[in-house]
Structure 1
Amino acid sequence: MRHLLKGLALAGLMVGPLVAQAQDTKFSQLGQELPTPNTYRTASGAPGHQYWQQRADYNINVELDDKNQSIKGSESITYTNNSPDALKYLWVQLDQNIFEPNSMSNLTQTAELKKDMSLRAVEYMTREKFDGGFKIESVKDRSGKPLKYTINNTMMRVDLPTPLKPGQSFSFGIDWHHNINDQKALGGRSGYEYFPKDGNYLYEMAQWFPRMAVYDDVNGWQHKQFLGSGEFALPFGDYKVSITVPADHVVAGTGVLQNANQVLSSTQQKRMAEAAKSDKPVVIVTQEEATKAEKDHAQNKKTWVYKADNVRDFAWASSRKFIWDAMNVNVGGKNVLAMSYYPKEANPLWGQYSTEAVGHTLKTYSKRTIDYPYPVAISVHGPVGGMEYPMLSFNGYRPEEDGTYSERTKYGLISVIIHEVGHNFFPMIINSDERQWTWMDEGLNTFVQYLSEQEWERNYPSRRGEPQDIVEYMKSAKNTQVPIMTNSESVLQFGNNAYGKPATALNILRETVMGRELFDYAFKEYANRWAFKHPMPADFFRTMEDASGVDLDWFWRGWFYTTDHTDIAIDDVKWYTIDSQDPAFVNAQRREQLNQEPKTLSEQRNLKDIQKTLVELKPQLKDFYNSYDPLATTPAQQKQYQSFLAGLTPEQKKTLDSGLNFYEVGFKNLGGLVMPLIVRMEFEDGTDEVVNIPAEIWRYNNDEITKVFVTEKPVVSFTLDPQLQTADTDLENNFFPRRLAPSRFEIFKQNQDRRNPMQRERATSSTSNGSNNAGR
């Protein structure tokens, strides 16, 4: 409905808050939630001038038993205490202990029985217990003297003979062995896959050796038990690892191969040298060579030696089934060897896409963080669907047995490689505490993965990153959600909480709240500040604000510390124009409004049913009021109007004649999250205008506000968040006038063709060719 603003009353329009809320919780600064800055971690989010971190260097010998699916190893660890504290003991992680039958992880798993149980589910519950976990044979100091140790589930405390003082190092050795889990049957982040057709195994080895825990200025020892979700907190160091395997196995490992002349043929060495200069993948171990090895099953052994400097972990993979290809990628003027290892069952998909995806990831991530610092980056295909380690990742997805694959498989492969190779940056280099904060590696990595996917191909079908893709989670029941700032082992809906929601939040920050220029600069600054260090959430939050000059406490509070969601509604719209006080104009406008008012049902029927009224039959009954027109302009009104005009200044006269439209729009925050208002106004002439209003408009009232829009042209509709930038969970209240948001239902069809499009196309082509041949 249009209203008239009387005269020039706009001069007194209220432009500030009508009533400030008693509590300003959503825009309160993050105070108690963040730790107090100190000389180790500054208020700006940068490492302090006394920042320190520990170091652990390893020399490991390990042998793979391909007949019994087990490994036996011996390692020497040199631990350097750079902290200001004297340490009486060291803590070592024993993640393989998660596979012990009576591990905390196994004992605390929940389940329920149903009336209809699948045979596979019953077999899983009644299966023979896997004899997993580390078998520690000895823990000794450098001289061979036994050290006292205590195993507590997935952690082992090693007691030192004397306290390790600041600046000192201590070397000790651990001998151990453990069985390797069947990854397909037992799950896990590593394990083996058996190929019954050729009787061979493929091993992906991770968390395979006792590893030092982190000791830092925030937690002291980070020795929270590994239950399966919270991954790892690890210090940096140098590794030399010697891996003994059957002679026909090919081994991929973190770091650089030191003895290629001993484990590769001369031809394979030449191919490797060619790959180091090529911008396209070059096959080093061919499918024919791998197929021959699958059949021969060598009985002798070879040892592959790898070295890796300044890494926080080491992983490897081994199989006689491996095809191996590689190519050179130039990152910041430095050559990096991108490589892939995969069995023939992964072709043709892997040969076409894997190494190219590795190279693409290195370039796109380097652009947004730091230049990739390591000499190699590897993608390995095997039983693990997706897992990351320094310079090496395990990735799933393979084509059908006939070599065809669906779009979902194709893009699933590219995405998982981008994601897992991207983990080199988060957290392998920017080394956050995964045991505590999953989102700091998974969320940040998923966000950059989204950006990288969009640079791979136009309209790439990214699963996470776009605001509308997180809506269903955001509006789900509160008892199924926890805040992002929740310990990894307590997270509900892990993928949505730790991957999707933080990635979406960062995308909204970049596109809607901060803008790309400010965001990209601050994000890159965070990466540079904390490369090869141990950042905490406060370091990220503070750096993003410090480097951009944008106060984001309201954003971190809403998105990371609560389970609120975005649901902002256009509550009401009032339309005002200036009352010129010209009686002729005002009376004519009123007459037009009265003429446009709809007749009631009774009035419509009376026109038909009442042929003549009494006054119509007897005109003598008419008097003054039957001919009186209350909307006719009188001379007195005109005189008064001219007097009004004579008292106006030229500026006031201009405003009076402007014909401006004033819209008072009411907004309600129904979901709890305060967010920017993106408002599109569609005008009567078919044009439109988008207005972006910062979230600070909610600072005086977190629940409901009004905003006045002044336009030269009449507005026919208002739309809130027209480009779906804020993950708003209810679009129907984003329109004024209201309109229904469309949704679809799917009609179920019996006997659906479940072949992928590539298979259907081949089948059609085959039938067509057959028909043509038959007709000749």
Structure 2
Amino acid sequence: MKRFIHILAAILTVSSQAVAQHSEQNHAERFEQLGNMLRSPNVYRTASGAPGHLYWQQQANYDINVTLDDENQTIKGTETVTYINNSPDALSYLWIQLDQNQRAKDADSHKASTSKIYDKMSMRQLESILWHDLDLGYKIHSVKDAQGNDIPVAINKTMMRVDLPEPLTAGEQVEFTVEWSFNIHDRTSFIGGRPGYEYFEEDGNYLYTMAEWFPRMAVYSDFQGWQNKQFYGSGEFALTFGNYKVSITAPADHMVGATGVLQNPEEVLSDKELDRWNQAKETFDDPVIIRTQDEAEKLEKGKASGTKTWVFEAENVRDFAWTSSRKFIWDAMAVDVGNKNVMAMSYYAKEANPLYEQYSTRVVAHTLKSYSARTFDYPYPTAISVEASNGMEYPMICFNYGRPDKDGTYSEAIKNGMISVIIHEVGHNFFPMIVNSDERQWTWMDEGLNTFMQFLAEQEWDRDYPSRRGPAHKIVDYMKGEKQYLEPIMTNSENIIQFGANAYAKPATALNILRETVMGRELFDFAFKQYAQRWKFKHPTPADFFRTMEDASAVDLDWFWRGWFFGTEPVDISLADVKWYKLDNRTPAEKKKAEAEEYEKYESYLTKTRNEEDIPETVLEKDPATRDFYSTYDRFAVTPSDEEAYNQFVSSLTDKEKELFNSGLNYYELTFKNIGGLVMPLIIQFNYTDGSSEVQRIPAYIWRKNESEVTKVFPTKKEVESIVLDPYRETADIDEENNYFPRRDIPSRFELFKRENGPRGAASGTNPMKEAKKKK
């Protein structure tokens, strides 16, 4: 480390000669503008990333009547759709999504999935190979126009084309009615999926999570026409905004929760429940329990005859979901968001207590406040968390997990997992339920953005919250994986191998790095909020997001989008070499003395030392005739000419030059090599010999002229003891061992595993709460 190279004082100016060009170009890609990789701006979507002056989107309004058969686990319904054509195009047909058909016997989702026989097979694995002989999928009984006439349709797997009798021109609307039914499946079985029922054998009751339950209009947009890609299960939904009136007929003792606002509480709630509901509307501190656990347990023991019809209305939503069960406990509280009250609510069976009663609605309220502060005020009147042993989101309602053991105890991992999934699923109200991106094409636009927001909300919940996704170092294992298993973030949902890492974790990490390292919090937060506010209740594309973030911040981010979203290269930047220089400002006497010491050191060797004793007298010492001028000449003596030259040089310096000449600065020349390929800023920590330290931040643009290797000199007043690259682990560097100078030994993964405890909430195995309960 401490290798001095003395430089003459005269060599202070940088040569003005041009640097020779590289024989091989190594700066041709990573800093090029995205250019034609993004859709060209037009009157619908501007170059700034905002909606254009002729932006349009379609609208679909629904009036639905549906009946739940709790004896046979089926539903049947009738919907009247009013489709409004706000586009400039004449439409001769409409496309409708039939997502339940993904579970039909001949579904392509099963045919196109791979399978394999292992030495040991679980029953669930075997069943997934055999598929099933259940009668699942939609039964479309009729599609009629407003006059009751049949409309021709063509069903292609999970899509249905409605052929209009005459083209629907710009500004016109059409009304048609669909009658359908289907058998509800057990979503806890090998069939899985988001909607369905869960059966509780101990009390013989069902808990229904009804999603993807009605034929839904596909999106027709300016950037791709009809989004009628088939539904295979991973790529979720592209949906049209509209207004809903939904009447749900369920067993009389069921509690029903749904998207929207309940229109007839006096008809479906008991007097006691109605009083508690009205009390909850005025309560902001703690949730009010509207149907208690004791009341729900009594209902579990018997089945009431008859039915009740619950009527809900929702405005400007892209979807509608609901839940129903006689097992439900229900609590609610008001949340002040943007000078209006939003009802935060939870529905859960006794199996979810005590966790859900203590946490669920409070987490809903926290999520609404956290997300609203960074985007826009939550615009809907309700937000609901339903414990349903899964995780999925819909406007104003989401289905989550988080059940303790039967004795009411739980591990910290279960508690934190429950809190995280509630934040995540409630957060989806913002992305994509309001900022309505196309999930079927770009999963990251809802899952990645939402996971990033989830990370911020988790850290606001608990300062030591063990967030799984967001911190840069937690994406490293994925980033350094084999190339054959990696895809760019900008990959279609169905083609991704490591779905969670690619669509959730990597974009969330990228946004966190943008906020903390590349842009800074102030610029990022302003730009991100601009994007959310520009595109709420609209259909954004990736280009709209990329352009808005640059437009609102004046930060060129094309290199970042190109590397993180369009590529698979990892970050691996090595601190390859460090050289230490000092300006030679010594006096002639000091120089001669140093030269003498260096000469003496250089000329000291074993033979010479031994000869001091073995050779009593040399020839020169014996015979004066062998001596001349050089026998007494002191080559290290300071001559008058040395003094004169030095004094003339010093006197010729200006005051500023004298200040620099006498500054005593250290010059450290650092060389960095880009091994991984993904260019990133350089964050460098200098640790000085006096115990202090300093961090310098160099923007990623330093790599523009050479994407493989760069060198930069850092002047310091203090001497450096050691240097660390990326000291706060903020760039997702996959190899930290080459980030140190001098190099340091890092324990192997096995040794680290033996030494450290797992992060809070991530431990598996014992349940400390259960053990403590046993001791009592």
Q: Assess if the C-alpha contact under 8 Å between 1:57 and 1:239 holds in 2.
A: yes
**Among residues 309, 330, 347, which one is paired with 2:315 in the alignment?**
309
State the AA in 1 paired with 2:52: G
Q: Which residue does the alignment assign to 1:774?
A: none
Structure 1 residues 443-458: aligned runs within 5 Å: 443-458=448-463
Q: Which residue does the alignment assign to 2:371?
A: 365
Give deviations 1:111-158, integer Å, cap 9, x for gaps: 111223334423443464232110111111111100100011100000
Distance apart, 1:588 and its partner CA: 3.2
Separation (CA, whole Å) in 1 of partners of 2:533 and 2:639: 78
State the AA in 1 paired with 2:705: Y
Q: Which residue does the alignment assign to 2:385?
A: 379
Secondary structure of 2:35's partner? coil
Q: Which residue does the alignment assign to 2:587?
A: 582
Structure 1 residues 202-281: aligned runs within 5 Å: 202-279=207-284, 280-281=286-287
Distance apart, 1:69 and its partner CA: 1.1
Separation (CA, whole Å) in 2 of partners of 1:15 and 1:43: 40
Q: Which residue does the alignment assign to 2:613?
A: 612
Whether 2:550 is the aligned partner of 1:545: answer: yes
Q: Which residue does the alignment assign to 2:758?
A: none
Give deviations 1:433-461, integer Å, cap 9, x for gaps: 00100000000000011111111111211
Structure-2 change in CA distance of 1:7 and 1:729 (3 Å): same
Separation (CA, whole Å) in 2 of partners of 1:272 and 1:182: 32
Number of residues of Structure 1 aligned to a counterpart in Structure 2: 758
Separation (CA, whole Å) in 2 of partners of 1:323 and 1:265: 14
- Structure 1: which 5+ runs fail to align? 767-776
State the AA in 2 paired with 1:335: N
Give deviations 1:258-294, integer Å, cap 9, x for gaps: 1111110011001001111112100001001100110
Structure 1 residues 387-536: aligned runs within 5 Å: 387-536=392-541
Q: Which residue does the alignment assign to 1:8?
A: 10
Q: Which residue does the alignment assign to 1:644?
A: 649
Secondary structure of 1:11's partner? coil
Whether 2:344 is the aligned partner of 1:344: answer: no
Whether 2:100 is the aligned partner of 1:89: answer: no
Structure-2 change in CA distance of 1:260 and 1:626 (3 Å): farther
Whether 2:48 is the aligned partner of 1:44: answer: yes
Distance apart, 1:597 and its partner CA: 8.3
Q: Assess if the C-alpha contact under 8 Å between 1:331 and 1:362 holds in 2.
A: yes
Structure 1 residues 671-686: aligned runs within 5 Å: 671-686=676-691
Structure-2 change in CA distance of 1:609 and 1:290 (3 Å): farther
Q: Which residue does the alignment assign to 1:770?
A: none
Distance apart, 1:409 and its partner CA: 0.5
Give deviations 1:72-123, integer Å, cap 9, x for gaps: 1111100000000000000000000000121110101101112233344234
Structure-2 change in CA distance of 1:222 and 1:698 (3 Å): same
Secondary structure of 2:773's partner? helix
Distance apart, 1:541 and its partner CA: 0.4
State the AA in 1 paired with 2:701: E
Separation (CA, whole Å) in 2 of partners of 1:479 and 1:593: 57
Whether 2:702 is the aligned partner of 1:702: answer: no
Structure-2 change in CA distance of 1:198 and 1:596 (3 Å): farther
Separation (CA, whole Å) in 2 of partners of 1:760 and 1:724: 37
Structure 1 residues 98-109: aligned runs within 5 Å: 98-109=102-113
Q: Assess if the C-alpha contact under 8 Å between 2:27 and 2:704 holds in 1.
A: no
**Among residues 317, 320, 340, which one is paired with 1:334 in the alignment?**
340
Structure 1 residues 557-636: aligned runs within 5 Å: 557-580=562-585, 582-591=587-596, 612-614=613-615, 620=621, 630-636=635-641
Q: Assess if the C-alpha contact under 8 Å between 2:110 and 2:131 holds in 1.
A: no
State the AA in 2 paired with 1:283: I
TM-score (norm 2): 0.94
Q: Assess if the C-alpha contact under 8 Å between 1:99 and 1:130 holds in 2.
A: no
Structure-2 change in CA distance of 1:264 and 1:14 (3 Å): farther
Distance apart, 1:68 and its partner CA: 1.3
Structure-2 change in CA distance of 1:208 and 1:636 (3 Å): same
Structure-2 change in CA distance of 1:284 and 1:626 (3 Å): farther
Give deviations 1:751-770, integer Å, cap 9, x for gaps: x993311112222x23xxxx
Whether 2:156 is the aligned partner of 1:141: answer: no
Q: Assess if the C-alpha contact under 8 Å between 1:3 and 1:576 holds in 2.
A: yes
Distance apart, 1:736 and its partner CA: 1.3
RMSD of the alignment, in Å?
2.3
Q: Assess if the C-alpha contact under 8 Å between 2:57 and 2:538 holds in 1.
A: yes
Separation (CA, whole Å) in 1 of partners of 2:348 and 2:96: 32
Structure-2 change in CA distance of 1:22 and 1:666 (3 Å): closer
Distance apart, 1:616 and its partner CA: 6.7
Distance apart, 1:672 and its partner CA: 0.9
- Out of 617-626 and 411-420, give the one that drifted further: 617-626
State the AA in 2 paired with 1:371: D
State the AA in 1 paired with 2:765: R
TM-score (norm 1): 0.94
Separation (CA, whole Å) in 1 of partners of 2:113 and 2:380: 39
- Structure 2: which 5+ runs fail to align? 756-762
Structure-2 change in CA distance of 1:553 and 1:595 (3 Å): farther
Q: Which residue does the alignment assign to 1:63?
A: 67
Give deviations 1:529-580, integer Å, cap 9, x for gaps: 0010000000000011111111111111111000011111111111111122
Structure-2 change in CA distance of 1:626 and 1:436 (3 Å): farther
- Out of 73-82 and 621-630, give the one that drifted further: 621-630
State the AA in 1 paired with 2:188: K
Q: Structure 1 residue runs of 4+, over 6 Å off? A: 14-18, 594-599, 606-611, 616-619, 621-628
Q: Assess if the C-alpha contact under 8 Å between 2:26 and 2:708 holds in 1.
A: no
Q: Which residue does the alignment assign to 1:760?
A: 771
Distance apart, 1:19 and its partner CA: 4.2
Separation (CA, whole Å) in 1 of partners of 2:456 and 2:534: 21
Q: Which residue does the alignment assign to 1:716?
A: 721
**Among residues 714, 718, 725, which one is paired with 2:730 in the alignment?**
725
Structure-2 change in CA distance of 1:18 and 1:505 (3 Å): farther
Structure-2 change in CA distance of 1:201 and 1:595 (3 Å): farther
Q: Which residue does the alignment assign to 1:354?
A: 360
Distance apart, 1:697 and its partner CA: 0.9
Q: Which residue does the alignment assign to 1:659?
A: 664
State the AA in 2 paired with 1:613: D
Residue identity over aligned pairs, in percent, reads 58
State the AA in 1 paired with 2:771: R
Q: Assess if the C-alpha contact under 8 Å between 2:413 and 2:764 holds in 1.
A: no
